[in-house]
A and B are shown apart, each in its own frame.
Chain A
Amino acid sequence: GAVVSQHPSRVICKSGTSVKIECRSLDFQATTMFWYRQFPKKSLMLMATSNEGSKATYEQGVEKDKFLINHASLTLSTLTVTSAHPEDSSFYICSAAETEAFFYGYTFGSGTRLTVV
């Protein structure tokens, strides 16, 4: 089955620094990847859609200059949280879409727990 690798699984950073999270599709090519954020006991909220070779599409209310997304290849998308602040602490999860994912489901990465101190 489709495997999506996300790294790092946990990161603690100081307020004001930037953090990069990687999402890789290991056994398939993903023209589209999605980035979600999940706060404790809340559901997943879509932040942005990452398209290979083009600019990401951000959901309303998500600051594109703060959450930089790069989808440079068919197997790698990165999310950079710039000038992180404590309110950015959250669980960030990526997912990748194979061609059939529309009907058969998307695979999620293992998630990144970001803590900003």
Chain B
Amino acid sequence: QKEVEQNSGPLSVPEGAIASLNCTYSDRVSQSFFWYRQYSGKSPELIMSIYSNGDKEDGRFTAQLNKASQYVSLLIRDSQPSDSATYLCAVNKDDYKLSFGAGTTVTVRA
């Protein structure tokens, strides 16, 4: 079992719709969780971090964490063409090392 698994893409959504991205992790000792956005040919940029159960909202982005289910998700509301990118879920254990999922590619159709 992979440490971090993301829903397989690609995910295509119309402009203005909600994009929903899912991520599960295998190690229960994981403590903090991140969503990174990566445009083609560029390095990842941090969108959201979350470490407490529940929802965390930042602008059009909402991260949800459920440690009991070992599940973290990212919702992108009012999707824009500029949101078209690969979204990487990353999980931090207790050693400062990040484990990344394979990524989900999102395409927002104008």
Query: Are B49 and A103 neighbours in the complex by a CB distance under 8 Å?
Result: yes
Separation of A49 and B36 alpha carbons in the complex (Å):
20
Cβ-defined partner of A105 (8 Å) among B34, B100, B101, B102: B34
Interface residues on A, range: 20 to 34
Determine the chain A residues whose CB is within 8 A of the CB of B49 once the complex forms: 103-105
Determine the chain B residues whose CB is within 8 A of the CB of A104 once the complex forms: 49
Bitwise, B71-103 to A at CB < 8 A (1) or not (0) is 000000000000000001000100011111111
Query: Are B96 and A107 neighbours in the complex by a CB distance under 8 Å?
Result: no
A110-B42 contact, Cβ under 8 Å, with A43-B100, A43-B103, A44-B88 = yes
Query: Are B96 and A105 neighbours in the complex by a CB distance under 8 Å?
Result: no
A43-B101 contact, Cβ under 8 Å, with A97-B96, A102-B32, A103-B32 = yes
Bitwise, A62-79 to B at CB < 8 A (1) or not (0) is 000000000000000000
Separation of A110 and B44 alpha carbons in the complex (Å):
8
Query: Are B98 and A46 neighbours in the complex by a CB distance under 8 Å?
Result: yes
Give the interface of B toward A (CB within 8 A).
31-32, 34, 36, 41-46, 49, 51, 88, 92, 96-103
- Of all A-B residue pairs in the complex, the 8 with the closest CB atoms, nearest first, are A111-B43, A105-B46, A108-B43, A105-B49, A43-B100, A43-B102, A44-B100, A93-B43
